[in-house]
Amino acid sequence: MSVDGIRRDTRPGGPASSEAPDHTGAPGAADDLWAGHAGPLRGVRVIDVTSMIAGPFATNLLADFGAEVIKVEQPGGGDACRGIGPFASGESLKFPSLNRNKKAVTLDLGAPRGAALFRRLCAGADLLVENYRPGVMERWGLGPDDLRRDNPRLVVVRISGYGQTGPYRDKAGFGTPATAFAGLTYLLGYPDRPPLSVPISLADLLAGLYGALAALMTLYWRDARGGKGQVADVSLYESVFGLLESLVAEYGVAGHVRERRGDLGGGASPAGTYETGDGRHVVLVCSTDRTFNRLAEAIGRPDMITDPRYSTNARRVKRREEVDAIVGAWLRQRTLAESQRLLDAVGCPLSPVNSIADIFADAHYRAREDIVEVDHPRLGRVPMPGLVPRLSETPGRIVHGGPDPATHNDAVLGGLLGLGAEEIEALRRDGVV
């Protein structure tokens, strides 16, 4: 079925199709972004009804690699991320990066006409990503079961704080509380002070990564194995909890509760943050005996390689403070540049603790094009992280930052769903779009 076929079959009162929506290469919302450029997800249509960070990050990853992502926002304020800081000239600096390469339309999903148009969008889509609190989409008649009656091949990725099941499913889900609930916050900070929260939206970003992974896995299964869509349930807290795998075994097998110690966990020595002679902080980790042996040679302490107190990692861990004192003293006698040169030469992993200013000045970041600048209608050029991963044959690209609300109402509602200009204007007057 072509896009024209979708336009005819999904008009109100027209038959809903269960055929696979064949929009690969058809004229649509993605082609002006990806004309002449073969992104690996080109031809995949995504309806994005997400807000804030986790859901938008998931669909951002898909959009960067060619998926046609149609971002649906409620009329009025739109995505709440548009109103959170940091700001420049009153504009959110988060929103342009999290929503780049997407099309922006508005629909009041709580209004019957808005819900009907949303169902038509989903009838011609491959994937829906939503991060409303569990049960909200069902109350609007837009739950996965409702939408997949029109389009059995539709994949639905649902991102929430605590998942779609369980006694906490209805709790408000935000990343920082979810990180605490997951057990990570308990480990952060010093033993004599309260726990510290992660200073970035870690749980949200991890959930976005899992959401994008879930989308790819389920789309692959649909197309290569099953022939139909399915629902993926991603929670913020489980996205963090999954990183704590060693803690689970520590407690489950040995009954040990790991506590805050102010630096890295106790699995390797030396491992931690140290200061150089010119006042820079560095992180050094020797996770294997081979790496430690290189370090010992480099710092002029080859005796530690055979000394029974330090000759194995298990023994060094028991004498962590002694080892840290030896390594720390060597680093304090040298500048960052000298320490880096000597340890790089022997293959010992040392890294400066970079500020964002250090990152902007770093030659490696520049060579890898890790920071890109994207046009913004009011702020000019806005820097943001570049593309990850790098693909040799079908690389991603960044064409534009997050668009203003309703930017593509006419293109999507008119060009994709076939509404006339008068119909769109009537919807606009009534607050449906």
What letter represents residue 295's amino acid? L
Task: Specify the pLDDT at position 15.
Answer: 29
In this predicted structure, the answer to whether residue 410 has a pLDDT above a threshold of 80 is yes
What digits encode the pLDDT tens for the residues 238-253? 999 999 988 999 999 9
d(CA 169, CA 241): 16
Task: Specify the pLDDT at position 267.
Answer: 84
Confidence of residue 4 (pLDDT cuts 50, 70, 90): very low
Contact 388, 381 (CB under 8 A): no
Domains assigned to the chain = 3-242+370-429 (3.40.50.10540), 281-352 (3.30.1540.10)
In this predicted structure, the answer to whether residue 180 has a pLDDT above a threshold of 80 is yes
Confidence of residue 263 (pLDDT cuts 50, 70, 90): confident
Contact 417, 120 (CB under 8 A): yes
22 is catalytic: no
In this predicted structure, the answer to whether residue 406 has a pLDDT above a threshold of 50 is yes
Task: Specify the pLDDT at position 302.
Answer: 97
Which of 24-28, 83-87, 105-109 shows the lowest mean pLDDT across its residues? 24-28
CA angle 342, 347, 353 (to 5 degrees): 70
Q: 0.85 exceeded by the pTM?
A: yes
Contact 68, 45 (CB under 8 A): yes
Task: Specify the pLDDT at position 36.
Answer: 60
Tell me the percentage of the chain whose pLDDT exceeds 90: 87
Residues 6+ apart with CB under 8 A from 185: 179, 195, 196, 197, 198
Q: What is the mean pLDDT of the chain?
A: 91
**Tell me, what DSSP letter sits at residue 398?**
-
Task: Specify the pLDDT at position 277.
Answer: 98
Task: Specify the pLDDT at position 144.
Answer: 98
In this predicted structure, the answer to whether residue 82 has a pLDDT above a threshold of 60 is yes
104-to-107, 117, 313, 382 alpha-carbon distances in Å: 10, 15, 54, 19
Confidence of residue 13 (pLDDT cuts 50, 70, 90): very low
In this predicted structure, the answer to whether residue 100 has a pLDDT above a threshold of 90 is yes
Confidence of residue 7 (pLDDT cuts 50, 70, 90): very low
Strand 45-49 to strand 87-88: parallel, antiparallel, or no bridges (unpaired)?
unpaired
d(CA 433, CA 423): 11
What is the widest separation between alpha-carbon atoms in the chain? 84
In this predicted structure, the answer to whether residue 124 has a pLDDT above a threshold of 90 is yes
Task: Specify the pLDDT at position 37.
Answer: 66
In this predicted structure, the answer to whether residue 26 has a pLDDT above a threshold of 90 is no
Give the CA count within 13 Å in the CB-facing half-sphere of 99. 30
Mean pLDDT confidence for 295-305: 97
Beta-sheet strand order (sheet of 271-275): 271-275, 281-285, 350-352
**Tell me, what DSSP letter sits at residue 199?**
S
In this predicted structure, the answer to whether residue 386 has a pLDDT above a threshold of 70 is yes
Task: Specify the pLDDT at position 97.
Answer: 96
**Residue of 204, 233, 263, 303 marked catalytic:** 204
Q: What is the phi/psi pair of residue 285, to 5°?
A: -135, 130
What letter represents residue 349's amino acid? P
In this predicted structure, the answer to whether residue 217 has a pLDDT above a threshold of 50 is yes
313-to-210, 344, 347 alpha-carbon distances in Å: 34, 21, 18
Task: Specify the pLDDT at position 262.
Answer: 85
d(CA 95, CA 93): 6
Task: Specify the pLDDT at position 226.
Answer: 79
Task: Specify the pLDDT at position 182.
Answer: 97
Q: Which residues pair with 380 in a beta bridge?
A: 376
Q: Which residues pair with 157 in a beta bridge?
A: 129, 232
What letter represents residue 340's amino acid? Q
Mean pLDDT confidence for 280-292: 96
d(CA 209, CA 162): 16
305-to-249, 294, 312 alpha-carbon distances in Å: 30, 9, 8
242-to-178, 182, 234, 235, 304 alpha-carbon distances in Å: 13, 9, 12, 11, 36
State CA 103 to chain mean position distance.
19
Task: Specify the pLDDT at position 12.
Answer: 29
Confidence of residue 21 (pLDDT cuts 50, 70, 90): very low
Task: Specify the pLDDT at position 32.
Answer: 59
Contact 116, 151 (CB under 8 A): no
SS3 content of the chain, % helix, strand, coil (to 5): 40, 15, 45
Say what the alpha-carbon torsion angle 420, 422, 425, 427 is, to the nearest 10 degrees. Answer: -70
Task: Specify the pLDDT at position 20.
Answer: 44
What six digits make up the tokens of 387?
């593309």
Contact 26, 416 (CB under 8 A): no
